[in-house]
Amino acid sequence: MISKLPFGRTGHQSTRVIFGGYALSNAAQAEADSVLAHLQEYGVNHIDTAPIYGNAERVIGPWLAKHRDDFFIATKTRRRSRTDALDDLKRSLERLCVDYVDLWQMHGLTNPVGWEKVMGPGGALEAFIEARDKGLVRFLGVTGHGDKAPAMHKRSLERFDFDAVLLPYNYLQIQNPRYAADFNELVELCSRRKVAVQTIKSIVRRPWGSRSQTYNTYFYEPLDTQDAINKSVHWSLGLPDSFLITAGDTRLLPKMLEAAKCFENRPSDTEMNAITDDFDMQAIRCSMSDLK
């Protein structure tokens, strides 16, 4: 079974691995049922999804109708106005077959223009507070991709007391000094406030570039051998009190679950550097901002 930790200040004991619902973006119901049952075999009790993840909310919903109490459910909205965000939430609740979600998140909030709209009069923040007050959501969060995410999340936390953040974290991205500094500042702030830190892109190899996308990982080409996945997952889980969201392809899910199940210690830099051929370090350094 995969170990659990308090999910920030929410009071929920979440598995350190959270299922990334994007993996079900193209799934039929039978496949989704099989994947969700497989999660329970590992004790995974937390699902992250979003309206723009294709079929995900629709195929997760019938499972939740029978297993609602088994999962902490997070979804998101990319809508930036109060009215549009509330409409988005209503549709998510209908698709997920639930009366409330545990965590509602502002999706991809890293653009300064969008940020100003969200936080201003009539912005989505008003919808988030209203939905929480009405019991439609229990906790509020913010997510982001790309190298601006840590600094923008810090700005969001300075504006509003969110319960969770979500952003990229992997061995390669932390080789970028600016990203590492911003990330560490954010984590320190989250630690002081007991804000849950969720990480994505733990098994990135390099941007897809002009290569054909052979996995359902939209932004990047993933590592796919068990050894490389073990090392990368263990490295990301080495961040204390954090949670790792699985990659967007069901073929990678069993390997990531196995890696998390056997996690004990973070690999050393020497061990991580031993798989730099898999990482394609030069391509990553030239295209870090593409890993959004």
pLDDT digits (tens, 9 = 90+) for 207-259: 888 888 888 898 899 999 999 999 999 999 999 999 999 999 999 999 999 99
The pLDDT of residue 276: 65
DSSP-derived pairing of the beta strands 72-77 and 164-168? unpaired
The pLDDT of residue 207: 87
- Six token digits for residue 185: 């500042």
Residue 244's DSSP bridge partners are: 17, 199
Q: What is the mean pLDDT of the chain?
A: 93
**Which backbone phi and psi does 273 adopt, to 5 degrees?**
-65, -20
Q: Is pLDDT of 60 > 80?
A: yes
Angle at which helix 29-41 crosses helix 253-261, to 10 degrees, equals 10
- Six token digits for residue 27: 């799934």
E strands, 65-136, where? 72-77, 101-106
DSSP-derived pairing of the beta strands 164-168 and 196-200? parallel
**pLDDT band (50, 70, 90) for residue 290:** very low
Element (H, E) at 17: strand 17-20
**pLDDT band (50, 70, 90) for residue 278:** low
Average pLDDT over residues 82-95: 98
Average pLDDT over residues 163-177: 95
- Measured CA angle at 254 (ends 66, 285), to 5 deg: 120
Average pLDDT over residues 52-56: 97
Query: In this prediction, what percent of the chain has a pLDDT beyond 70?
Result: 94
Average pLDDT over residues 94-114: 97
Query: pLDDT tens digit string along 13-42?
Result: 999 999 999 999 999 999 999 999 999 999
Domains of the chain: 4-290 (3.20.20.100)
Average pLDDT over residues 181-189: 98
Q: Is pLDDT of 206 > 70?
A: yes
Residues in the chain: 292
The pLDDT of residue 215: 87
**pLDDT band (50, 70, 90) for residue 288:** very low
Q: Is pLDDT of 286 > 90?
A: no
Lowest-pLDDT range, 179-188, 254-263, 267-276, 282-291?
Answer: 282-291
The pLDDT of residue 26: 95
Torsion of CA 203, 208, 214, 216, to 10 degrees: 60
